[in-house]
Amino acid sequence: MTKDAVDRPSSQPASPAASPATPTPAAAPSTPADLLPNIISHGSISLLSGAAGLGKTALLATIARAFRDGTPVFGHQPNPVAEIGIINADRGWDRGARVWFERAGFPEIKFYSMCDDPAFDPRCLRKKFDRTARLGEFIDKLTLPKRSLLLCDPIGLFLGGNLLDYDGCGVACHEIRVLLRQRELTMMATAHAGKLKADKKDRYARLQDQILGSSALLGFSDTQMVLASPEETGSAYYTFLWVPHLAPPETFLLERDELGIFRLAEGTDAGSAGRILALLPRSGDEITAGELGELAQAIPLTAKTVQRALSQLVAEGQVTKVRRGVYQRLVGLLH
């Protein structure tokens, strides 16, 4: 090939410049599944409140066991969690929360007990604006993997230093939410209820308004749960209420077994009916009473309670009896 041939421009037209690639829209990040659909969402802060000494830790242990085992939480089926851990922030572990977790059948829960940590200097809590940072340190001591359930018993120490300060509580909730988001965790924490006057006419009309502190605790948290004693409500049973943002409130009547562990009260058909309804296939597929009975054992509900609840649901028109021992949820009533 001659030099001229090398230097002479080619008679072939130059390739057109490549046009800039059209950017592909980034796929929207998928939203992680709720830990408990529409009740405990991923990354949320849920509060379980009640009077001091009422049994919040015992109830928390029972709920945690259901998440560990993948069994219904008051009739609602949870999604799997990677692990469960608890920050114990009030008294010592051995003669406190450990007893309730052992009685509930969850002795192996991973825990960090602030009071039992020889390296912990409680004077650091005097700096109230640094308390969420301390909470982050305690969380990291648990080394929980992503999509774990984090329990905190109680949460009050980390909510800004003054529970009556709306601004401080709101900011602290946001700071805690960032801690959870960075670690992809979900929190369920106990909170205290305010002291109640003897005269019921002087009490709050709603149980959730009894949570001690500013209304910011309701406004900046996600699901509020309240445990109330028979003395508070005038009921023969303990009352447990949850108020999610994405689902209707539900109230459950509870009793305590010989170990002090909470369970659904037998004979309370109104509460049982809702839990049995949640077990029927939402697709409208048929299910036998025997299959429902097996599912209900995990709640736990007895076979007699299941039968009474089914009779009530049929009478209310929410379930139809297809034939003997076979039932079907009416799809048009799903919510």
pLDDT for 263-272, tens place per residue?
Answer: 887 655 556 7
pLDDT attached to residue 27 = 55
Does the pLDDT of residue 107 top 60, yes or no? Answer: yes
Phi, psi of 238 (to 5 degrees): -70, 145
Whole-number Å distance between alpha carbons of 210 and 193: 5
With the C-alpha atoms ordered 311, 315, 316, 319, is the resulting torsion angle positive or negative? positive
- Pairing verdict, β 45-50 and 224-228: parallel
Q: 35: closest CA among 86, 76, 74? A: 76
**What is the residue-averaged pLDDT of the chain?**
82
Element (DSSP H or E) covering residue 114: none
Does the pLDDT of residue 170 top 90, yes or no? Answer: no
Query: Between 316 and 92, whose confidence is greater?
Result: 92
The radius of gyration computed from the CA coordinates of the chain, to the nearest angstrom, equals 27
Strand partners for 97: none
Q: Percent helix, strand, coil in the chain (nearest 5)?
A: 35, 20, 45
